[in-house]
A = this chain, B = another copy of it.
Amino acid sequence: MSEDKWKTAITEIKRGEIRVRGYDITEMMGKLSFSDAVFLILKGELPGKEESEMMRAILVSSLDHGVTPPSVLSTRCVLSGGNSLNAAVAGGVLTIGDVHGGAIERCARILQSWGKKPDQISSVAKELVSEFIYKRRRVPGFGHRLHETDPRTVKLFQIATDLKFSGRHMELAGAVETELTNALGKKLPINVDGAIAAVISDMGFDWRLGKGFFLISRVAGLVAHAYEETVREKPMRKLGNWNFEYDGPARREISGSR
């Protein structure tokens, strides 16, 4: 019953042969950088020179952000409960949700949807910002809790400028930043999620792959954290005695017969 067949257009496997998107894995092993191979498997085609450079810079940019993000806490807690490296990394990947790395997806969705409008970029941006302010919604991909100007964003745009890599979505992202500044009276800069969203949109990636770029990069950081937990920490991480608090009902008894 062919309906039950699991189909794929990603990789073909035969005895002694592995071909990704049509290319032999051994040829890829000899000729492709890892970031180009990632581009190929996600996009179905090899990147051009500029795309290759942007892809490399994106994947390097999101490698790690220290011990504080919730994905690292999960990774270390899972490891610490007496689990394997893969389970720990899975716990971290699981944590990278709508508010942690998720802005890439949401911002790319907005840029791709508004970017289709035939109007001039500046008027599209004006309309977009008006609508979000009217609906009292934040535009995902702009502003950062810690970095006033995110160094990764600055670098990513600089690399793009040097390569003359820019398309409608990057222009739209820039115009939205300008409009947000005008509308709010203070700078709400594009953050690294927004910058990646703009770049992958100009590379022609579907916004639904947005979180994927972050995951592929950050998983290296998660592996490093899981390993560090293995070699440097005792098992069974717990909150210390002083940093939790119970504020529920006081002691009581089960009344009557049950």
Given A95-B83, A240-B4, A245-B5, check contact A66 B151 (CB 8 Å).
no
Interface residues of A (CB under 8 A from B): 1-13, 15-38, 41-42, 44, 46, 56-57, 59-61, 63-71, 73-74, 76-78, 80-87, 89-91, 93-102, 105, 145-149, 151-152, 154-156, 159, 206, 208-209, 211-212, 215-217, 219-221, 223-228, 230-232, 235-240, 242-254, 258
Is the pair A251, B73 in contact by a Cβ cutoff of 8 Å?
Answer: no
Residues of chain B within 8 A (CB-CB) of A216 are 219-220, 223
Is the pair B29, A148 in contact by a Cβ cutoff of 8 Å?
Answer: no
Q: Can you list 22 A-B contacts (CB < 8 A)?
A: A3-B240, A9-B248, A9-B249, A10-B67, A10-B221, A12-B248, A13-B65, A24-B151, A24-B253, A38-B220, A42-B227, A68-B244, A73-B239, A74-B81, A78-B95, A84-B98, A85-B212, A86-B211, A87-B94, A212-B223, A216-B219, A216-B220
Give me 5 other A-B pairs in contact (C-beta within 8 A), A7-B232, A15-B148, A86-B101 excluded: A11-B67, A25-B151, A86-B96, A99-B236, A215-B223
Is the pair B70, A242 in contact by a Cβ cutoff of 8 Å?
Answer: no
Given A66-B244, A86-B211, A251-B19, check contact A95 B81 (CB 8 Å).
yes
Q: Give the shortest distance, in Å, between A86 (CB) and chain B (any CB).
A: 5
Counting chain B CB atoms within 10 Å of each CB, the highest count among A57, A145, A159 belongs to: A57
Is the pair A239, B67 in contact by a Cβ cutoff of 8 Å?
Answer: yes
